[in-house]
Structure 1
Amino acid sequence: MHINVTSIKKHTDEILARFNTYDIWSINETNLKPHQLFSLQGFNIFRNDRQNKQGGGVLLAIRKSIKCFEILNATIETNEAVAVQIETSLGQLLIATVYIPPAGKIQQKLFDEIYQLNNNCLILGDLNAALEEKGSRKTNAKGVQLKQILEEGYLQCIDNNLTTYARNNYEEKIDWILATQPTILFIDEVETHAPLGCKEDHKPITFNLSMTADLKPKSPRLTFNFNLANWNLYRKKLNEYLNKIDLKQKLETKEHIDTYTIALTNCITLAMKEAMPLANGKIRNNNVSEVTKKLIEEKHKVYRKWRKTTNEIDKKHYYKIRELVSNSIRNDRIEKLTAIMSTLSAKKMQSAGVWNTVKKFHNKRTKQSYSGQLIYQNTTANNDQEKANVFARYFENEIFVSKPDETPFHNQVNTRAASIKRKMKMETSSRENKFSPITENEIKCILKQLPNSAPGPDAIHNRSLKNYTKLLVIHLAKIFNAIVGMGHIPQEWKKANIILLLKPKKEKKVPSSYRPISLLSCL
């Protein structure tokens, strides 16, 4: 799907409601500034924002399940472009979105550069070029420039007479679909749709690209839908699995502790799998009501009827529906804001609820993703596997490095630590027991107060631990006491899922710009 929106934030809700079934979006004139955060749920965002001036900007949104990486982000003269390479059943395909403002000139070197990066490419964009022989009403100066590019022979355009821009009874084809061979042969079902909002402007263009994109492998992480959990079944199954573990078994070695921990973890995860469904990962657009969705569908039908008949009655009907859609979207936003504000007036508020409300207003917490190149030690990483390896090398070489204890400060710390250990050893040797055992009541008290933290590699969530059984508490008391007594942390609990957060105002391509957050086992 391609559209010139003249402000992406203004039309996000309508675009999501109308075009969420499309996997790739090309958007021109986003009007985003480099410091502004923007995301679309379920999509990776690739942006080229206009610097130091109003308007402009281009954006590609690619469904997160598709393998892709940014290969070009450039502004040549006034030509703004961003290009992404995706994996398909027929090999690599470069998809670019290009915007050329009315006062600008088409820069052929931009199109040459795109073709040189990958001679199998698809270019979408508002070029402000009208070329009569390719379906426009007339030919303008940019149309002549576009013709010169087409005459080079490496690019072809979709040759139809569908107008892409309408205003005050004037219509023209100025948005284009350009592609190389054989990609252009796989494009069909090209359609234009009713403009966004209440004004006549650029029309969204949709088409089908008959290529199968390679999908990213599914994440090994398990995500459960706790809202549909059967907690009675969970506790029943948990006890069934825990009964298979021998409580009389003594934990006398580190290997015993590691084996016992794995068995305990498996019992909890198996019970979770049987008692609660996995999250399906489907993206829901909750910003738009069902009433609005139906009005948008009606708007599209009425628009197509008017364009066919050119009847004045149909035109008035379309204008009326268009106004209703705009009002309905506005009402949806008001209702959403009212619902958010009502959460602030509750008599008793949980901290999680407060922060969820704050995040809805605080732009800095908008989830951001980066799918461009990563560069480290003269190595460029494009796909997810390569990036994971680059980060692993970076952390191994520069972060998690054992440094020699040679400085005076280290010597001072070591001396003091040794003194404390000697003192503790003398005190504990005089006692019959080295420590007071952890009791079941203490464990119950802690389990009840657990926050809803994100799970680690074992996928055990604190909500599962809070729905404990008496048998689980007994097993936990046994393993915790063994850990404290032997001074050994199970190997499974030392594993973590690492999430990388971009530091403010840092270069996205450099590994050192990211702060690692480790998600350890909730156990």
Structure 2
Amino acid sequence: MTHSTRIRVEPRHKNNVPQWIVDLIRAKNLARRLAHRTGDAVDRREANRLGNEVKYALIDHRNDQWERKLESLTAEDNSIWRMAKALRSNKKPLPPIHGTRGLVFSNEEKAEAFADSLELQCRPNIEDADVDHIERIEHQVEDILSRQIETSTTPTSPAEVRKIIGSLKVKKAPGPDNIPNKALKLLPDRVVVALTTIINASLRLCHFPSRWKKANVIFIPKPGKDPKFPQNHRPISLLSSIGKVLEKVILTRLVRSGTAGLFTSSTLPACHWRWSN
């Protein structure tokens, strides 16, 4: 019997409605049921009066809540900027996409249309390429690999890993692992030590984990362009933050190798040299 007993769950009123408004709503419901049962004009007028009273009481309550919310906003905790962003938000649903396969409507077909567009845009442009420059880089890489210089990569330390994690921006969106930068900043020391061990193993084995190479690609419409066409969207790759930590560890060692004369400005792209400098 105890297992079959029905337990009544009290309804939870949203927005923390005061008890006097809850009592007023109950009185309105009782008056409406009475007016429906009797059909008397006096009972109907009383039900309508209570209905209007509840309506304006809820409006005043919501206005008071909104005023208290606005008064609590401050710049110190960024709450005022979050509210401003939410009020300015003008998100529009993604329209049908016109790709190489025609006009598509479903999310799966839109993803394929974006993939086809990226494939067309990211093809190597062999016709306009500087063949001499490519051959020169290939010869330099072959020369470096043929030297067989046994240089052990300097392992990283928990202090360096912690410093890199501290430089990550909190508001950056996470990658496929859904681990935000804020969570990395709150890691205990023993977890940072374990992460350092994994990074040192990657350096020792010259292996970058494939999971950290994957990214969630989102598309942002270019301003002033027709969003119906996939080429008018800017792709943004969201990578794993842990993979970014390993990237920065590798970058510092590449910069040291570059300053030691192992790499030249013609070996690495100019963007890497601007980034490292």
**TM-score after normalising by structure 2:** 0.61
Q: Distance in 2 between matches of 1:475 and 1:484?
A: 14
Pick one of 50, 54, 68 that aligns with 1:317: 50
Indicate the structure (1 or 2) with the bigger Cα radius of gyration.
2
For residue 513 of structure 1, report the CA deviation from its aligned partner. Answer: 3.0
Match of 2:110 in 1: 387
Distance 1:337 1:310, change over 3 A: farther
Displacement of 1:370: 1.8
State the percentage of identical aligned residues: 23
- Bigger share in strand: 1
Gaps of 5+ in 2: 1-12, 243-277
Structure 1 residue 465 and structure 2 residue 188: aligned? no
RMSD over aligned CA atoms reads 4.3
Whole-Å separation in 2 of the counterparts to 1:406 and 1:387:
31
Pick aligned residue for 1:455 from 170, 174, 181: 174
Q: Residue 367 and residue 489 in structure 1: after superposition, are their counterparts in 2 closer, same or farther (change >3 A)?
A: farther
Distance 2:17 2:140 in 1: 67
Q: CA deviation at 1:298?
A: 5.5
Query: Aligned pair in 2 of structure 1 residues 367, 500: CA closer, same or farther (>3 Å)?
Result: farther
* Distance change >3 Å, CA 515–CA 303, structure 1 → 2: farther
Alignment of 1:28-47 (within 5 A): none
Any conservation in 1 of the 2:24–2:50 contact (CA below 8 Å)?
Answer: no
How has the CA–CA distance of structure 1 residues 419 and 363 changed in structure 2, closer, same or farther, with 3 Å as cutoff?
farther
Structure 2 residue 239 is matched with structure 1 residue 520: yes
Hey, what does 2:126 align to over in structure 1? Answer: 404
Aligned-residue offset at 1:402:
2.5
Could you give the per-residue CA deviations for residues 160-193 of structure 1, whole angstroms, max 9, x where no partner exists? xxxxxxxxxxxxxxxxxxxxxxxxxxxxxxxxxx
Q: Which runs of 5+ in 1 are unaligned?
A: 1-284
Aligned-pair CA distance for 1:327: 1.1
The residue number in structure 2 matching 1:366 is 89
1:480 aligns with 2:199: yes
Q: Cα deviations across residues 110-164 of structure 1 (Å, max 9, x unaligned)?
A: xxxxxxxxxxxxxxxxxxxxxxxxxxxxxxxxxxxxxxxxxxxxxxxxxxxxxxx
Corresponding residue SS for 2:18: helix
Map residues 53-72 of structure 1 onto 2, 5 A cutoff.
none
8 Å CA contact 1:302, 1:318 repeated in 2: no
Aligned-partner SS, 1:401? coil
Higher alpha-carbon deviation: 324-333 or 383-392: 383-392
The amino acid across from 2:154 in the alignment is S
Aligned 8 A contact 1:302 1:317 in 2 = no
User: Which residue of the other structure, out of 294, 319, 332, is the alignment partner of 2:65?
Assistant: 332
CA–CA separation in structure 1 for the residues paired with 2:194 and 2:58: 59
Query: Cα offset for 1:297?
Result: 5.2
Contact 2:181/2:241 (8 A) holds in 1: yes
Contact 1:370 1:508 in 2 (8 A): no
Answer whether contact 1:373 1:382 (CA < 8 A) is retained.
Answer: yes
Quote the Cα distance in structure 1 between the aligned partners of 2:91 and 2:135: 43
Q: 1:244 — aligned with what? A: none
| 2:174 counterpart SS class | coil
Deviation at 1:495, TM superposition (A): 0.7
Higher relative contact order (CA 8 A, sep 6+): 2
Partner of 1:504: 223
> What is the Cα deviation at residue 339 of structure 1?
1.8
Q: Distance in 2 between matches of 1:476 and 1:489?
A: 14
Contact 2:97 2:104 in 1 (8 A): yes
The Cα offsets for residues 407-454 of structure 1, whole Å up to 9 and x where unpaired, read as: 45x856885x679879989xx95xx74543212221133335544343
| Equivalent residue, structure 2, for 1:291 | 18
- 8 Å Cα contact 1:295/1:324 also seen in 2: no
Contact 1:503 1:514 in 2 (8 A): yes
Identify the residue that residue 156 of structure 2 maps to in structure 1. 438
Q: Deviations over 1:7-30 (max 9, x none)?
A: xxxxxxxxxxxxxxxxxxxxxxxx
In the TM superposition, what is the alpha-carbon distance from 1:393 to its structure 2 partner? Answer: 1.9
Q: Distance in 1 between matches of 2:141 and 2:151?
A: 17
Task: Pick the aligned partner of 2:210 from 480, 488, 491.
Answer: 491
Q: How far off is 1:331 after superposition?
A: 0.8
After TM superposition, the score normalised by the length of structure 1 is 0.35
Structure 1 residues 442 and 406, CA, compared in 2 at 3 Å: closer, same or farther? same
State the number of aligned residues. 223
Question: What does residue 275 of structure 2 align with?
Answer: none
